[in-house]
Amino acid sequence: MTSTSPRLVKWENGTDLVIELPLAVDIATVWSKLVDSETAGSWFASFAIGEAAGETDSAKTGGDDSDDAAGDGGESNPAITFDLGETQLHGEILSYEVEDHVLVELEDFGVLGIQLLALELTDGDATLLVFTQSAPDAESARLKAADFGPMWDTHMRLFARALGLEAVEVEEAELLALYADLELEDSEVDDSEDGANEA
């Protein structure tokens, strides 16, 4: 049975909420489920990318005449819109590499990333899904973790179930307590001095 592992990680340019989820499925399968806009509704929300996302709301997504170039290596980032039922969540895709990562910026949530790393198990291939939500500093990251961490954790476990895996059930009160007091790690090497990060 799979479960999440959250923490805060301090980098040179900010602090990330990091949630790791090991999946006993190969990367190709995880990626195909991750980018399937139709079935995304079973674990988060269905979505549209590029022109389909910006046809009626290009102003909200920051779209302009250069949107057409997004898929052709242009400077513009493709728009992405999640259908939440009564409302829509708009953003843009900042970066992606097939079967490796996707980085998006969403209204109200900021920069979010998902990276897929290969794991080797004795009984087959597996994938470590690493979700990140970026913040400018540790205090902002703690606030985001408390506000959004339980939600992201729930959606990640729903994603595991969408892959046919069993995910640990966690009570809401337990999630709230966990994400209100996450351990802060420093990405610097262990022998670096405490004063090395001067913001």
Q: Encode pLDDT of 143-171 as tens digits.
A: 999 999 999 999 999 999 999 999 999 99
Contact residues for 52 (Cβ-Cβ < 8 A; gap 6+): none
Q: Is residue 197 part of a domain?
A: no
Number of domains in the chain: 1
- State the DSSP code for 123: T
For residue 46, the enclosing domain spans: 5-189
Q: Is residue 30 part of a domain?
A: yes
Q: Is residue 84 part of a domain?
A: yes
Dump strand ranges (E) for the chain.
5-11, 14-23, 47-49, 79-83, 88-97, 101-106, 110-121, 124-135, 184-186
Amino acid at position 60, single letter: K
Q: Is residue 27 part of a domain?
A: yes
Burial class, 146, CB count within 10 angstroms (exposed 0-12 / middle 13-18 / buried 19+): middle
Q: Is residue 80 part of a domain?
A: yes
Residues paired with residue 131 on neighbouring β-strands, in sequence order: 19, 114
Alpha helix segments (H runs only) across the chain: 27-34, 51-54, 138-162, 172-180
Q: Is residue 85 part of a domain?
A: yes
Cα gap 48→31, rounded to integer Å: 17
Q: Is residue 20 part of a domain?
A: yes
Q: Is residue 198 part of a domain?
A: no
Rounded average pLDDT over 185-190: 70
Lowest mean pLDDT among 50-59, 77-86, 147-156, 160-169: 50-59
- Given a cut of 60, whether residue 91 has pLDDT beyond it is yes
CATH code of the domain covering residue 61: 3.30.530.20
